[in-house]
Structure 1
Amino acid sequence: MPPRTRRQAKRAVPPGGGSGGGIESLPDGVLEHILGFLPSAEAVRTSLLARRWRHLWKSATGVRIGCHDGEQLLSVQELRNLVNHLMILRGGAPLDTCELTFGDFGENFGSHDDVSHVNLWFRQAVMCKARVLRLVSLSGCWLELDNLPLMSEHLTTLQLYGVRLHSKLLNFSRCLALEYLEIEYCNLSRVTEISSNSLKHLCINDSVLPHDPRTRIYAPNLVSLRLDVLRYRTPMLSSMPSLVEAFIKIDMECSDCCDAENYETCDCESCGMADGSSNCVLLKGVSDAKTLTLISIPEMFVFKRDLRWCPMFRKLKTLLLNEYWCVPNDFVALACILEHSPVLEKLTLQLFSEGLERKVEMKLCVSSTKRSPAISEHLKKVELKCEVVDDRVLKVLKFLCTYNICFSFE
């Protein structure tokens, strides 16, 4: 075995003079890992403790910039001196986690000076082989990240908040280890596609998407998907054969709406695709999920439009739907998804009336002898949650009875 270098020996053996039971007895590598959990400003201050601590912070495995100092959140301008020196003095030491959080842009926002600094820090973190990278802008303005692709063999988690994004940045073909992507309160109005072969978990929440064309999401190995409070148009989902769990909520912030009575056959500008195609927008992409939540307000048409090409949900075992799917009198949407879920085991319907607080939960019984052949033979548990048993709820119960799903008095 070759002899260890002097630096390796120094890091492996604690210096003399320690009591043997305190923190001084720990090797340098462990201390650098511990320092990585501190806000970087505090980690730098440890250099004053003793000679041994003078340079340990430079190799801390975590960089945490702009953490809350009581009630005060520092601006980019206030953080410049610390971050610029920190990144230079680290000398490219590898990172495990990098968190960049800041408040106002300050007076330099108009000249984009602050924006350039943040983009530089963001790219330097990637170059330092960060596995987890979080960028949070609480300024109230969109921070525009450069439209350049990321290249990393180490990045596994990327979390973005309060930034404006472009298509090249969200093309992760050169981030082969990326598995977790969270986009919250971001502007994706110029993003035409989000693509990754390695991505397993994707969450897009309270973010702006384009009017046209729809953003396409290509992530064939995705395991979990959450789309919640999307402004303007919903994205178009490609096939996700590995999907286990999906949550999609469409509320009033979305502009996917149509005033036509016959939305099933409507081809108006709002309903159609920008390229003239008539493909399924959401349901086909989540058709392989085992657990699925679909929530929408009545004005939105996109789910009902997708029912023209309603896929088979061949793996779906747990399904939660809101009142959007339970519109009397024909219940076409509810009937369609039930009859296309051959292995469904649990169904939950949430029917909430505005202005009422009292909640009612009813467990329904699925007849084993008179079960309708149109629904899953595995369906054992059906729950209906509402705030009051009104006429609308009674109509839903009556419809379910056509499948021999009835109220249980047990």
Structure 2
Amino acid sequence: MPPRRKAGKGRRAAPLGGGRVSIDVLPDEVLHHVLSFLPAQEAVRTCVLALRWRHLWRYATGLRISCNAENEAVSAKKLRNFVDHLFLLRGGSPLDTCQFTLLHINDDNDDMCKIHLWIRHVLLCRVRVLSLDIRFNMDCWRTRFYMDDLPLVSQHLKRLELSALHLNQSFVDFSSCPALEVIQIKECDILDLDRISSRSLKSLSITGYCGFNEDHRIHVYAPNLVSLWLEVFYGRVPFLDRMPSLVEAVVRIDGMDGDFCHHADSGDCEDKDCPGCYGVDGDTGCVLLQSLSEAQSLVLISDTKMFIFRRDLKCCPIFSNLKALSLNEYWCVPDDFSALTCILEHSPVLEKLTLQLFSKGPKSNVQMKGSPDPTERSNVISEHLKTVEIKCEVVDAKVLNVLKFLNKLGIYSYRFQF
């Protein structure tokens, strides 16, 4: 507990002359929160401001511990001494947030062991939000900081942010984190994982150039998940277990290797030696779409060479709650539009369809909005569909082909925006 003063906790100082008000009029609890926004080194330096500030930093509700190229005064060794003394003097004071941003550190086993101990210490301080971004010097042979083999154990952790780490199966065992609701994984190696599992998880984001395994699929088990953002740029698309509470999801597949075949669009080239179609034992049934079928909003983007969505469409589920759907040109190839037709047929309450065609990003030079004619509406599309939005860089032959197909469904009367 903070040391008590005779004037009582949260004492207010007299306003300065001229009507100005000093920060010292704020209660201790507010100053503890304010200090949490400073880098830890700067927060500690406030101890010299006045007698009252001598111990305030010890009870800051957040810690921001950093070591990067812009902070040349802090070497890895000096940081280690500073953080060791910081934790010793803070003791077990509770933390709301803790952020480790350790860039360009040396590949030193003692330093790595220290960092692992620091992480375990803040967990004991009942931290609720933990952010880890730890990177080696560019000349180190390791590309990622390896997390230790111990599982996370915390009754209080609610949000976990992981960047540029090598994750192992023990570390992502979240069974001992019953309050964990949000996980963000960015630019991490997850090659060694078999499973990401959490019953309490509500939001999961795996983005950036994360490395998935080429020889097996990671299983994601999060039955209470509400929001999913999944990007696959390398390796196999993960298998999603049932997500009955899912509301929104973004799935982007631009993978190299993994779910790709030179001979078949749907992963069924019948060549048993094909590593793309038959490289995973027991790989049958829906990988993604079945678990996404309860969502109200979906964004499904894929490189046209990847087959996983087309394979899933062979056992396409009913998207009984889906109201907003965004797709890219993957769903309009080949010219028979079979993939687009299939997912529209299985979306009975769809209200808005967005097609982002042949564009690199969400912003496009041309935007068109159309709507179905109630008298000529095709049975393929939902009777609730009100808006069809097409975004593209230029209206070329490929885009015109898509417009002709939509016209056959009774969707026209476009309004152009440039």
Return the TM-score normalized by structure 2.
Answer: 0.89
Corresponding residue of 1:165: 167
Unaligned runs of 5+ in 1: none
Distance 2:175 2:212 in 1: 21
**2:132 aligned to which of 125, 129, 135:** 135
Q: Displacement of 1:214 after TM fit?
A: 0.7
Corresponding residue of 2:88: 88
Q: Displacement of 1:74 after TM fit?
A: 4.9
Percent identity for Structure 1 against Structure 2: 49
Corresponding residue of 2:412: 406
Matching of residues 227-306 of structure 1 within 5 Å: 227-253=230-256, 255-261=258-264, 263=266, 265-266=268-269, 268-272=274-278, 274-306=280-312
Corresponding residue of 2:376: 370
Instruction: State whether residues 75 and 102 of structure 1, in contact with CA within 8 Å, keep that contact through their aligned partners in structure 2.
Output: no
Distance 1:15 1:395, change over 3 A: closer
Corresponding residue of 1:114: 111
Distance 1:377 1:16, change over 3 A: closer
Distance 1:363 1:148, change over 3 A: same
Distance 1:353 1:189, change over 3 A: closer
Distance 2:80 2:133 in 1: 16
Between 1:244-253 and 1:193-202, the stretch displaced more is 244-253
Distance 1:94 1:329, change over 3 A: same
Q: Displacement of 1:375 after TM fit?
A: 1.7
Corresponding residue of 2:35: 35
Task: Read off the aligned partner of 1:40 and give its amino acid letter.
Answer: A
Matching of residues 377-396 of structure 1 within 5 Å: 377-396=383-402
1:332-381 CA distances to partner (integer Å, 9 max, x unpaired)? 11111010100000011111268xx9832222230111211222100010
Distance 2:98 2:295 in 1: 32
Instruction: State whether residues 44 and 57 of structure 1, in contact with CA within 8 Å, keep that contact through their aligned partners in structure 2.
Output: yes
Instruction: State whether residues 265 and 310 of structure 2, in contact with CA within 8 Å, keep that contact through their aligned partners in structure 1.
Output: no
Distance 2:225 2:174 in 1: 13
1:276-296 CA distances to partner (integer Å, 9 max, x unpaired)? 240211111211111111111
Between 1:206-215 and 1:185-194, the stretch displaced more is 206-215
Instruction: State whether residues 233 and 255 of structure 2, in contact with CA within 8 Å, keep that contact through their aligned partners in structure 1.
Output: no
Distance 2:6 2:408 in 1: 77
Matching of residues 191-206 of structure 1 within 5 Å: 191-205=193-207, 206=209
Between 1:364-373 and 1:251-260, the stretch displaced more is 251-260
Distance 1:256 1:201, change over 3 A: same
Distance 1:262 1:64 in 2: 48
Instruction: State whether residues 361 and 384 of structure 1, in contact with CA within 8 Å, keep that contact through their aligned partners in structure 2.
Output: yes
Secondary structure, counterpart of 2:121 in structure 1: helix
Between 1:69-78 and 1:231-240, the stretch displaced more is 69-78
Between 1:194-203 and 1:357-366, the stretch displaced more is 357-366
Distance 1:219 1:32, change over 3 A: same
Instruction: State whether residues 289 and 313 of structure 1, in contact with CA within 8 Å, keep that contact through their aligned partners in structure 2.
Output: yes
Corresponding residue of 2:214: 211
Corresponding residue of 1:62: 62
Between 1:247-256 and 1:57-66, the stretch displaced more is 247-256
Distance 1:18 1:63, change over 3 A: same
Instruction: State whether residues 66 and 73 of structure 1, in contact with CA within 8 Å, keep that contact through their aligned partners in structure 2.
Output: no
Between 1:319-328 and 1:20-29, the stretch displaced more is 20-29
Distance 2:318 2:12 in 1: 66
Q: Displacement of 1:117 after TM fit?
A: 1.2
Return the TM-score normalized by structure 1.
Answer: 0.90
Q: Displacement of 1:44 after TM fit?
A: 0.8
1:16-40 CA distances to partner (integer Å, 9 max, x unpaired)? 7776953333333222222122111
Distance 2:307 2:351 in 1: 27
**1:123 aligned to which of 120, 124, 144:** 120
Q: How many residues align?
A: 401
**2:334 aligned to which of 322, 328, 331:** 328
Question: What do you get for the CA RMSD once the two structures are aligned?
Answer: 2.6
Unaligned runs of 5+ in 2: none
Secondary structure, counterpart of 1:211 in structure 2: coil
Instruction: State whether residues 75 and 104 of structure 1, in contact with CA within 8 Å, keep that contact through their aligned partners in structure 2.
Output: no
Distance 1:99 1:78, change over 3 A: same
Corresponding residue of 1:97: 97
Distance 1:200 1:8, change over 3 A: farther
Distance 1:13 1:259, change over 3 A: closer
Corresponding residue of 1:226: 229
Distance 1:201 1:10, change over 3 A: farther
Distance 1:375 1:73 in 2: 63
Corresponding residue of 1:23: 23
